[in-house]
Structure 1
Amino acid sequence: MEPMDLTEKTLSREDCFDGKLVHVHVDQVRLPNGQTAAREVVDHVDGVAVLPLDERGNVLAVTQYRYVFGKTLLEIPAGKLDPGEDPVTGALRELKEETGAVPDIFLPLGRILPAPGCYGEALYLFLARGLHMEEQALDPDEFLQVERIPFPEMVHRCLTGEIEDAKTVVAVLKAKVQLNL
């Protein structure tokens, strides 16, 4: 049996909102069966996230209030890429801004698509080791607390659902499996 072409072809686009971080549009598409459907799309700038491990095997994690969910979440340091910025450069910048850490070793953990059903963002994940601590440089609208949490505890919290942030769960579990941490 020959595989079906699953491609949806764009017929039209209606721009709905153009903000600082996101652009929202509704596309009319032709489905593989010839029917049409609407696709609501949120284009978002790409981002980076870093799993920083200190010499004692602790993760430098950040707790910050996430307005959309109305609560604080424990996450790994992360942020958006500037236009044209290389993911490694952006990740190193975000790590230093949020935690003050500068690594000797910086390894890629891959790229993920957080919500591909409607959200156009890719996140580049990294592992940082051999950390040297310098000054934090938080953005004016950024408020967070840095904590050091043993890596096995981070794994446990990811597996029990206590940590809900997708990029954090993926980075922790990838590091656990790929690096046998």
Structure 2
Amino acid sequence: MAVTQQLARIPQGYLAACRQSAAASPDGDHLWDPPAYDVLDLDWAPALLKRVGEVAGLEEVRLDALRRATGGDAALDLGFLNTPPHAIAPFGGTPTGLDASQVVRVSELLGQIDMPVLLTALPADEGEAAALIGQMGSITGGLRAYLLNHFNALRHFYLDAARRHLHVVLWWD
């Protein structure tokens, strides 16, 4: 089974309810189960997207937004989500997240990134481009299409989270 990055859009109240469930349960069951339409599987794209931004010379504020969109922030107390036997991130570190105000800012900055332009900074040869950003092996459908599809999904995910005033929780599973 591959370990991939997962994101979930959740209201603040949902996080509080999960925290309360974990505290009340004898085995720490937080009852984490966000609806499927509010979950995004970014596969292995996060590191590659950040590397494209670095290679293309993306401005630091937008590169930082891309890092935060895929790496979260440790400010939200999410350790209760990583307690066995109910850990949501059994193969990665403690989940991270962004609160609603951080989500709005990240969404605004992601909206200012022109990924097709950034992808032109990569070498034309698919193998050279993959090596430059650290991708091992081939990607079905091509590297650029893979990156563009995942970036667009990430941007739309954050746009919807910002519009709905939701938090975003990130973990590797």
TM-score range, shorter chain: under 0.3
Question: Greater relative contact order: 1 or 2 (C-alpha under 8 angstroms, separation 6 or more)?
Answer: 2
TM-score, normalization by structure 2: 0.28
What is the TM-score with the length of structure 1 in the denominator? 0.27
Q: Report which of the two structures shows the higher radius of gyration computed on alpha carbons.
A: 1
